Chains A and B, each alone.
Chain A
Amino acid sequence: MNRVRFRPRSLILFFGCMCVTLLLYELLMSFKEARSRLIAALAVGDYEHEARQALAEKNLLAIGTVTAGFVIRLLRKARGHDHRESAHHWDDSVTVHSFRCRDGNDLWYIKAYFIESTGAVFISVHRSE
């Protein structure tokens, strides 16, 4: 009678793969959710801009150089690997979503977060340096 041999290395490998899969799934869902929430906020005009230095350079949506429709198009082109999450440096509990999206030869940088009372708050919408 064949006995099933217990192989700890296989087990570790299996759980490792599971963890990586879950992590990737989590990242993908976070990207998809952030992107769709941003697009929805832009589509209905439920967004604001963080007041900052160099507003006219760093947030072209705030000063009307680019339109909400243009930013929606950029976000639709973004893929999972174009998205990063980080904590806001003014408040660790707020997650900031950064996207790098390509439009022709230009690489655009979009940075925004969500807070309860407002839809989306944009920090940056500009061509990447």
Chain B
Amino acid sequence: MRILRAGDRGKALAPERGLVPIVYEYRTVRLQESAVDVSNVLVGVCEETGQVLIIPAQSTPKLKEARAATKVETCQVRLPRQLHDILWLLADHYRAEGSKFWPALVRFYLAEAVRQRRLAARIARLSKTALASEGPKSRFTVRCERSLLLEVDKLAKEFSGVTRSDLIRGAIVAAKDDVLGNRSRTRAKKLEAIACAV
């Protein structure tokens, strides 16, 4: 890929004026549909008027990331204290930083449950166990893509009496069985990779 730098020059078409010289600059770009301002985006601006005319390919990931951030929702769940302990044990198992690893673990299990019907059924069943539901609770927050949460809500409706929060609680118990109980080596390995990445 051709990587451009601020100050590089080129040419672009401008409304009513045809081909005009441009200079590349880092600017804040507003995505009008989502009303999102994306800062530090390299764009080609008209040397004469300062109008943004061109967006190079290398700026795409920043625009994508900014749009994705608007699609993230915060999901709050009340977890029994023992599930918090399980999360700490899992983070300790992989020597990961808990606050970063826990949301990733939950998102991983929810995404897997959406894809695999068997895992979804297991998580739904585990969510009704005493381990997942009894005892004093405290708050747990996870940030998820809206699209994933919608899929999880759809999944929850397939199991009677199960909510999104139940599935999150069930997912933590499933993770305990898979990793600390050696039930699934494949998922344990995937979680290891996630722990390294966060």
Interface residues, chain A, CB within 8 Å of chain B?
44-51, 53-57, 61-65, 68, 88, 90-91, 93-94, 115-119, 121
Contacts and interface: CB of A to CB of B under 8 A. Distances in A.
A62 B87 CA distance: 39
Interface centre among A65, A118, A119 (most CB of B within 10 A): A118
B52 A51 contact: yes
Contact of A115 (B13, B52, B61, B63): B13
Contacts of B2: 44-46, 119
B26 to A, nearest CB: 14
Contacts of B11: 115-118
Interface string B39-64: 00001100000001111111011011
A47 B59 CA distance: 11
Interface residues of B, number: 30
Contacts of A61: 60
B31 interface: yes
A-B CB proximity, top 8 nearest: A45-B1, A64-B64, A91-B18, A117-B10, A117-B11, A49-B55, A56-B33, A51-B52
11 contacts: A46-B2, A49-B56, A50-B53, A53-B32, A62-B63, A63-B31, A90-B13, A91-B18, A94-B19, A116-B11, A118-B54
Given A50-B54, A54-B33, 18 more contacts: A47-B57, A48-B54, A49-B57, A50-B13, A51-B55, A53-B32, A55-B31, A56-B33, A61-B60, A63-B67, A64-B67, A65-B64, A68-B57, A88-B13, A90-B13, A94-B13, A94-B19, A115-B11
Interface of B: 1-2, 10-19, 31-34, 43-44, 52-58, 60-61, 63-64, 67
Contacts of A115: 11-13, 19
B95 to A, nearest CB: 33
Nearest to A49: B55
Nearest to B31: A56
A51 B29 CA distance: 10
Nearest to A118: B10
A46 to B, nearest CB: 5
Contacts of B15: 90
A51 B43 contact: yes
Nearest to B1: A45
Contacts of B33: 54-57
Nearest to B3: A45
A72 to B, nearest CB: 13
